[in-house]
Amino acid sequence: MSNARVVSTSLGFERPLVTVDVVIFTVIDEQLCVLLVRRPDGEQEPFPGRWALPGGFVDVNKDVSLQACAERKLMAKTGVASPYLEQLGSWGDAKRDPRGWSCTHAYFALIGQPASIVDGDAPAEWLPCDLAVRRRLAFDHSSLLTAAIERLRSKVEYTSLPAFLLPEPFTLPQLQRVYEVVLGRALDKSAFRKRMLDADYLEEAGPVTGDHGRPAMGYRLRERERATVFPRGFKSGE
């Protein structure tokens, strides 16, 4: 008898499948990109060969918590140990996985280096978000991805999140470009700088020389644990 057919009950309740998926963002070539992996081929596999978000079952023997599980999966794919990692939400229903009632816990991560993909098990690639949202991903991963992008865009309006998408040290012009890439619109240089410096969440890390022109001051985050929340969003009345 295959253990896949064990009906799991406890206290009279059948137990759903429990997974964690991670939406991992970075910026490559001034484009917001997301990491996708290819589902294995095979008879038993759901969505064989389709692209999906990295993730999988919670391992109750390895993972002490959902967050730890997300960190493990992130580490396995990118080698990054402590990125910005935030819970996005959970999706659970009877139909999303053909193997049964399942709920997934989605996290979203921001990393600063395009990071060579470590895990050789499954093919993986960084894909620009605007392309990724058009793909038909496995499970309900297109919904998760859309929700992650929406959350990211909305928080970028009033938080320092984009600073986690750059390798340190970074300059204010670089940071502004990331804001503009994610938001899809230009920002005023003067207002932008005032905001960043007034918030006092950066520390100077010496000048950085670019290709042409005057070198810019490099900055580091004072704290890598949490993002800074600005008192207001960009663009007042709109």
Binding partner at 193 among DNA, its own copies, none, C-beta below 5 to 8 Å by kind: DNA
Nearer to DNA, 61 or 236 (CB): 236
Please say whether the dihedral angle defined by the alpha carbons of residues 105, 126, 201 and 179, taken in this order, is positive or negative: negative
**Buried b or exposed e, range 173-190, using 16+ CB within 10 angstroms:** ebbbbbbbbbeeeebeee
Which residue of 173, 180, 205, 224 would you call a contact of DNA, by CB under 7 A?
173
99 lies in the binding site for DNA (CB under 7 A): no
Which residue of 25, 84, 91, 139 would you call a contact of its own copies, by CB under 8 A?
91
DSSP-derived 3-state class of residue 8: coil
By CB under 8 A, the residues from 22 to 61 that bind its own copies are 57-61
Nearer to DNA, 62 or 214 (CB): 214
By CB under 8 A, the residues from 178 to 237 that bind its own copies are 231-233, 236-237
Nearer to its own copies, 18 or 115 (CB): 18
Residue 113 in tokens: 């280096």
Nearer to its own copies, 95 or 134 (CB): 95
Q: Is 104 left (phi over 0), alpha (psi -120 to 50) or beta?
A: beta
Which residue of 29, 48, 64, 138 would you call a contact of its own copies, by CB under 8 A?
64
Query: Helices 189-199 & 172-183, crossing angle to 10 degrees?
Result: 110
105 lies in the binding site for its own copies (CB under 8 A): yes
Which residue of 171, 178, 182, 196 would you call a contact of DNA, by CB under 7 A?
171
195 lies in the binding site for DNA (CB under 7 A): yes
Binding partner at 30 among its own copies, DNA, none, C-beta below 5 to 8 Å by kind: none
65 lies in the binding site for its own copies (CB under 8 A): yes
Q: How many residues does the chain have?
A: 238
DSSP-derived 3-state class of residue 78: helix
Nearest CA-CA partner of 16 in 124, 102, 104: 102
Residue 64 in tokens: 């002490």
Residue 82 in tokens: 């402590």
14 lies in the binding site for its own copies (CB under 8 A): yes
Q: Which long-range contacts (CB under 8 A, 24 or more apart) does 84-87 make?
A: 84/109, 84/110, 84/111, 84/161, 84/164, 84/224, 84/227, 85/22, 85/109
Site for DNA, rule CB under 7 A: 171-174, 188-191, 193-195, 198, 207, 209-217, 231-232, 234-237
Site for its own copies, rule CB under 8 A: 3-4, 6, 8-18, 57-61, 63-66, 68, 87, 89-95, 99-101, 103, 105, 231-233, 236-238
